[in-house]
Amino acid sequence: MLISDVGLPGGINGRQLADRLHLSSPGLKVLFVTGYDEHAVLAEGSLDDGMSVLTKPFTLPALATRVSQMLEK
C-alpha cells in the first residue's frame, strides 16, 4: 500500500508516483492525503480502483480505519 500526499516536491505529484509504481505492482492500493478539498482533487481526474483520498487534517484512528477498509477490498 502507498500512502502519499498529492503534492510532492521534485516535479512529481502523488498521482504520478502511484502510476509509476503501478507498473511494477499493478494491485497496489493507494491512499492520497491532501489539504485540498476532495472534490478539487477529483476535478483533475478520476481515481482508479484501489485508490482513495483522505483530506487533512485527519486523526490517526481515521487513517487506520481507511487503510483497513482499503486493504479488505
All three cell numbers of 63: 487513517
Domain boundaries 2-72, corresponding CATH code: 3.40.50.2300
Domain locations in the chain?
2-72
> Global pTM?
0.85
- Render pLDDT for 15-42 as a digit per residue (tens, 0 to 9): 889 999 999 999 999 999 998 776 666 6
- Render pLDDT for 45-55 as a digit per residue (tens, 0 to 9): 678 899 999 99
pLDDT score recorded for residue 42? 62
Are residues 26 and 2 in contact, defined by beta-carbon separation less than 8 angstroms?
A: no
Question: Is pLDDT at 43 greater than 60 in this prediction?
Answer: no
Query: How far, in Å, are 6, 20, 22, 28 from residue 40 at the CA level?
Result: 11, 22, 23, 23
pLDDT score recorded for residue 23? 95
